[in-house]
Amino acid sequence: MTEPIRRHSMTELIVRKRDGLALDASELSWIVERYTDGSVTDYQMAAFLMAVLWRGLDTAELVTWTEAMLHSGEVLDLGRVSDAKIDKHSTGGVGDKVSIPLAPIVAACGVAVPMMSGRGLGHTGGTLDKLESIPGFTTALDPGRFVEIVERLGIVLAGQSETLVPADRKIYALRDATGTVESIPLISSSIMSKKLAEDLDGLVLDVKVGSGAFMKDVESATQLAHTMIGIGAAHGTPVVAVLTDMDQPLGRAVGNANEIAESLDVLEGHGPPDVTELTMLLGEEMLVLADPGRDRGEARQALDEAVASGRALEVFASVVEAQGGNPRVVTDRSLLDVAPHARPITASRNGYVTRCDAMAVGVAAVRLGAGRAAKEDEVDHGVGITLSAKRGDRVDAGDLLGEVRYRDEHRLAAALALLDEAWEISDEPPPQRPLVLGTLP
């Protein structure tokens, strides 16, 4: 018989965590359970999350917290899927649409990808918000439908729901609006609770490092990666973490619908070099995790072939259709929303772009309406930023650095206050910064 959960005072637990004391398993499970069922309020949970952000969770606390989130809903049973089941998750970046082309490319290579993603978080974009810019596409699937789609197509692109990791669904939205994102225990429990609910054979993590990431330096990104690898190991799920650059946005498109268009470019074989390269590198890791005996060169060839043959694009169209979206989006980009007004940003001098700041661009996109300021906000799928010049590019005064798509003049002004400072131009070209900064374990 399982022990009944004791009653606790949320105020006392907030105070204890605020004062740096550890909470026991019953207390932490109680918080997650009671917040999920609505009996702990948003304001109390926000205070608790802020206390965790400052005080952290020790290893025992993190294990309990992650378990409680994982078991807040149903854990999937994908036992009838015979292919290896491998997923990928990013810790969050700007212009990071990699999951969208990656999942169908890998699925086209015969590896099942039961992907559970997130919405925009802080200044970073969310795969679910981007996918929902496809007319009709739904990311809210009940467990039965989730499993049925993976069994049929070898891929699903869904989110947390009332029944799938509901605790993360609520805590994630609350963190987004309360400045409680940048915490190693909160990020790792959020990611790993979703991923462990997917009944995976392996997981590839893209741990972002730099101005536009939640982890600003390699040391903290490495700590985050080790924390998640440890949670995976405790559950018998192999995890590979790739540390990648997020000092400047990935690709050229930052927003929602425009990122779907750029994802389609990757699936058609003509995406921006950085997005394409990262997609293929992470795809290699996924194929090798699925079959550790597989040669990397052969994995890369399979991924290239999935794109060149059009199979990856077909898989994407089929999952869009299965999730209620209009599959014609793969051939007709006019189905994607574009905000009515455009504003160019131009170079003030000749020189080399030495910085295109991911944080400034990410916050500007949120200010335009591509992300949320409050939990209840709707995102505007048609607004966003297209970058014409990135680090290392040579520009002359008056050349286009980027273009803003907007709907509202006030929002534009707020975004421009950041974008006008986002590019740095100097006489000398900047040193090369590699896209991949390390792979763990």
Q: Is 170 designated active site? A: no
Q: Each residue of 74-95: b (16+ CB within 10 Å) or e?
A: bebebeebebbbbbbbbbbbbb
Among 36, 91, 244, 276, binds ligand URA (CB under 6 A): 91
Q: What's the rounded Cα separation, in Å, for the pair 344 and 237?
A: 47
Q: Which of 34, 55, 85, 89 is catalytic?
A: 89
**CB-nearer residue toward ligand URA: 175 or 381:** 175
Among 95, 118, 125, 371, binds ligand URA (CB under 6 A): 118
Q: Is 343 designated active site? A: no
Q: How far is CA 100 from CA 5, 163, 198, 370, in A?
A: 40, 23, 18, 17
Q: Is 311 designated active site? A: no
Return the range that interacts with ligand URA (CB under 6 A); candidates 17-25, 53-61, 184-192, 417-425. 184-192
Paired with 86 in beta bridges are 202
CB 259 within 8 A of CB 97: yes
**CB-nearer residue toward ligand URA: 103 or 312:** 103
**CB-nearer residue toward ligand URA: 133 or 190:** 190
Return the range that interacts with ligand URA (CB under 6 A); candidates 183-191, 238-246, 343-351, 408-416. 183-191
**CB-nearer residue toward ligand URA: 121 or 365:** 121
- End-to-end Cα separation, the chain, in angstroms: 38
Q: Is 190 designated active site? A: yes
Q: Is 208 designated active site? A: no
Tell me if 92 contacts ligand URA by CB under 6 A.
Answer: yes
Q: Which of 85, 175, 208, 405 is catalytic?
A: 175
Tokens of 439: 């792979």
Tell me if 160 contacts ligand URA by CB under 6 A.
Answer: no
> Smallest gap, in angstroms, from Cβ of residue 214 to ligand URA?
7
**384-387 and 253-255 as β-strands: parallel, antiparallel, unpaired?**
antiparallel
Which residue number has the CB closest to ligand URA?
Answer: 190
Q: What's the rounded Cα separation, in Å, for the pair 281 and 101?
A: 12
> Smallest gap, in angstroms, from Cβ of residue 188 to ligand URA?
8
Listing DSSP states for 115-146 in one string gives: EEE---BTTB--HHHHHTTSTT------HHHH
Return the range that interacts with ligand URA (CB under 6 A); candidates 51-59, 185-193, 223-231, 274-282. 185-193
Sign of the alpha-carbon torsion through 135, 141, 146, 148: negative
N residues, the chain: 441
CB atoms within 10 A of CB 313: 22
Where residue 415 falls (left for φ over 0; alpha for ψ -120 to 50; beta otherwise) is alpha
Tell me if 121 contacts ligand URA by CB under 6 A.
Answer: yes
Tell me if 190 contacts ligand URA by CB under 6 A.
Answer: yes
Tell me if 387 contacts ligand URA by CB under 6 A.
Answer: no
Tell me if 139 contacts ligand URA by CB under 6 A.
Answer: no
> Smallest gap, in angstroms, from Cβ of residue 186 to ligand URA?
6
Please work out the total of residues on this chain that contact ligand URA, with binding judged by CB under 6 A.
9
Return the range that interacts with ligand URA (CB under 6 A); candidates 190-198, 242-250, 317-325, 363-371. 190-198
Paired with 113 in beta bridges are 155
Among 158, 187, 240, 383, binds ligand URA (CB under 6 A): 187
Tell me if 94 contacts ligand URA by CB under 6 A.
Answer: no
Tokens of 178: 């309360």
**CB-nearer residue toward ligand URA: 93 or 369:** 93
Residue 3, CB-side half-sphere exposure with 13 Å CA sphere: 8
Tell me if 191 contacts ligand URA by CB under 6 A.
Answer: yes
Q: What's the rounded Cα separation, in Å, for the pair 267 and 307?
A: 6
Return the H-helix or E-strand segment holding 197: none
> Smallest gap, in angstroms, from Cβ of residue 158 to ligand URA?
13
Q: Where are the alpha helices (DSSP H) in 309-434?
A: 311-322, 358-365, 409-419
Where do contacts with ligand URA occur on this chain (CB under 6 A)? 91-92, 118, 121, 186-187, 190-191, 194
What are the residue numbers of the active site? 89, 168, 175, 190, 194
